Structure 1
């Protein structure tokens, strides 16, 4: 039955083109993201510099997430998607010639992320405009699946292109993918009612009041507040994995160029596996079961990662940096650990997201979700900044140890916390 519904949905040319646009641009986004992380680490050999780069991604998102949301309500989303795609593609292509200067990379990262924020909000908001209401859940599931799959594809291609063609090859490829994605959108008819000029003026006059409604909902509703906390934590830990990946790999004596092969690719595969676990067992167990197990898995993985570099046997193996295939005794266990990190992240994130959506009042859903996203960006920014500083000064052990203890404690106490907050009582 599910396959039949999926096949019917994919027969819709409108949805298929939008999905292809999503796939192309998400692969491109991860290509650029991972490529710049790798470039900055190899340029500076500093985890703190990688953290600064991630700040350049997160801060624009935090600033523009609400503006992008309002823009997608005031301007036709098809125009926003095409324009942001073309701007994004041009910026990435230009950056491919300017990757030798750290601050130049940071500047372009800011501009690229601003363009992406407008694109992301417009495309996700367009799904209900082209998909019937009874197929909306399936459409969103397919979009989420393409996100994880694109992460896997992007991480694999970054290391492949960087290692065997050129360090800037991922940027060329990403630029082309995004430009081609704009072609798909040009073929889509998005039915959207754009507010008239007088109505837009009234909405803009009350913009601050409208934005604060999301904050008020989270602050006043203990259920939403608790779920927001779990979502922010799980998303921020995923961002941390990006931040520390190249430096962590170097600690284990593996060339940082292979960080996508060894760490990010398994992380994405783990996320897909977690998604499959939820699809099989989601109706059998309560959401609280998965959230609890997910946090414990994350904590256990971080704890193991914290103590592995302390091994004397490992220290004897990491004296010289090599490609991952020459150190399978280290790279394979690391890949396995990161795949479990991906599973734990999804087991925490998706049930918490579902509960979050179920408990949100319809009239403030969009604004509250934007606020949750904003809090995630802020937390990720702070975590990335301090993780880079701590890693350079003290190594990864104290950072991973503290995070593992927090995650394990949260997992063990999650059932009590969630039930007390009125979450998942049925």
Structure 2
């Protein structure tokens, strides 16, 4: 493939011809359309993380009173769900849980429906509209701080915030499958592995940066605007990020196959998406890998608290250090897959990743209490997760017909969000009843079984 074709602004169609040549991150970022999509993803990912940080910031500043007695109704709710409500941090956690629930419900139930509409509409317009509407939506945030009626001891603004979070998550359900379905339209097939690796690495980077720097950035904007006599500087961060994402995505040029599906019902199209999983074993297997992987990672979020509590000098509140190390491992794994993954079969990459996860979980139980070993094993677990997730995502993109990618990726979002939610509840309950070590062994056994099913010893 000639260098000039990599740098022009014409929309690139994946072909076997342009799949040849050097592969890796340095090549895939030279595709003009993908580069614009990637930059838009960075702004959108950062905005999603900053959104959660801003919600917690507002809850702490405006809706958590200094004494729990002033929120009697909330104290009753906390008692009903067996949650402590004595300290200010616990009250913030309770109200933040409402934000998490409002954000999660659309992700669990709307993915398939949104995916159907993504297949019907031009994907660039869907991505631009979803980010543009989110930018407009968050502009209403300062209005929620105005005085007004109270329900359950909280101002109307908090409940309006939950409604806004719900709507913001609904728009995200349209953006996510459109974004994933757009990648194969902008990147030749031979470079999809590198493209997904880059997405995985930047996603982890956005998560770390967004959560780590979100609060300092918000406070810095607030202080900066106060220096010139203005208030509310913190409310400009989200519209800026979502707006920049919409602007970058609006410049993408992309050719899609014409659609003529207006006569079909949404339900029939969802069933058609399920039919893809039944007819294409490679897509089905990749989807199972992703669901299993995200279930294991969600369980790790809970188990990290117990692991951190056993480490002297870290304690339960230091669980974020372990998760950050897993994120770093995933980022490193993404770079490794991008540069060398095309030299290995997908089956062996998945089996290797699942094997690394298995050993990490087993040794985490045996070596718990040692900070150095625990950090190293968390990093290894993250690296293994990248070896599973990126080839699986690439396989789904390659083997799903273009006309059905939206609904398949919508279904994928449904399943992944359920996989992320259920273990958060089950893992905590199991650790409380049987202890940490048996739970780690059960998770390791699941990963080992999945690795053996791949039969990596056979020729691919």
Q: Taking structure 2 as the reference length, what is the TM-score of the superposition? A: 0.66
Residues 1:405 and 2:445 are matched in the alignment? no
The residue matched to 1:201 in structure 2 has which SS?
coil
- Conserved in 1, the CA contact under 8 Å of 2:28 and 2:194? no
- Find the aligned partners of 1:138 and 1:89 in 2 and give their Cα distance: 32
1:126 aligns with 2:182: yes
Match of residue 378 from structure 2:
338
Count of residues in correspondence between the two structures? 391
Q: 1:377 aligns with which of 396, 417, 420?
A: 417
Change (3 A) 1:201 1:52: same
- Of 389, 393, 401, 1:349 maps to 389
1:18 paired residue among 20, 37, 41? 37
> What RMSD, in angstroms, separates the aligned Cα atoms of the two structures?
4.6
CA contact (8 A) 1:47 1:389 kept: no
For residues 178-257 of structure 1, the aligned pairs below 5 Å read 178-192=242-256, 195=259, 199-203=260-264, 205=265, 207-219=266-278, 225-242=284-301
Report the equivalent of 1:148. Answer: 201
Following TM superposition, by how much is the alpha carbon of 1:343 offset from its aligned partner in structure 2, in angstroms?
Answer: 0.7
Partner of 2:118: 72
CA distance in 1, matches of 2:199, 2:385: 17
Q: Distance in 2 between matches of 1:112 and 1:166?
A: 23
Bigger radius of gyration among the two? 2
Q: Indicate if the aligned counterparts of 1:266 and 1:335 stay in contact, CA closer than 8 A.
A: yes
Deviations 1:315-361 (A, max 9, x none): xxxxxxxxxxxxxxx5x665434322211211222344455566667
After TM superposition, the structure 1 = structure 2 runs for residues 255-294 of structure 1, keeping only pairs within 5 Å, are: 262-279=321-338, 281-282=340-341, 285-294=344-353
- Aligned-partner Cα distance in 2 for 1:268–1:177: 22
Would the aligned equivalents of 1:152 and 1:265 in 2 still touch at CA under 8 Å?
A: no
Moved more, 218-227 or 26-35: 218-227
Q: In 2, Cα distance between the equivalents of 1:171 and 1:294?
A: 41
Deviation of 1:97 (Å): 8.1
The corresponding residue for 1:324 is none
* 1:232 Cα deviation from its structure 2 partner: 0.7
CA distance in 1, matches of 2:302, 2:162: 15
Give yes or no for contact 1:30–1:151 (8 Å, CA) kept in 2.
no
Q: Distance in 2 between matches of 1:272 and 1:249?
A: 22
Report the more deviating stretch, 340-349 or 3-12: 3-12
The structure in which a higher percent of residues are helix is 1
Indicate if the aligned counterparts of 1:48 and 1:387 stay in contact, CA closer than 8 A.
no
Tell me the secondary structure at the aligned position of residue 454 of structure 2: helix
5+ residue gaps, structure 2: 1-20, 61-82, 146-153, 223-233
Task: In structure 1, list runs of 5 or more residues that go unmatched.
Answer: 315-329
What TM-score does the superposition give when structure 1 sets the normalisation length? 0.71
- Using a 3 Å threshold, how does the CA distance of structure 1 residues 43 and 246 change in structure 2: closer, same or farther? farther
SS at match of 1:273: helix
Whole-angstrom distance in 1 between the partners of 2:97 and 2:310: 17
Please give the per-residue CA displacement for 1:114-146, whole angstroms capped at 9, x wherever unaligned. 1111122223333455x3x6x354366335413
Relative distance call for 1:276 and 1:258 in structure 2 (3 A) is same
CA distance in 2 between counterparts of 1:178 and 1:164 reads 16
Residue 219 of structure 2 aligns to a residue whose secondary structure is coil
CA distance in structure 1 between the partners assigned to 2:170 and 2:267 by the alignment: 21
CA contact (8 A) 1:28 1:154 kept: no
Alpha-carbon contact 1:81-1:118 (below 8 Å) kept: yes
Give the conservation status (yes or no) of the 8 Å contact 1:27–1:151.
no
Deviations 1:363-400 (A, max 9, x none): 86654454344222222222223345566xx29x83x5
Counterpart contact for 2:329–2:383, Cα < 8 Å:
yes
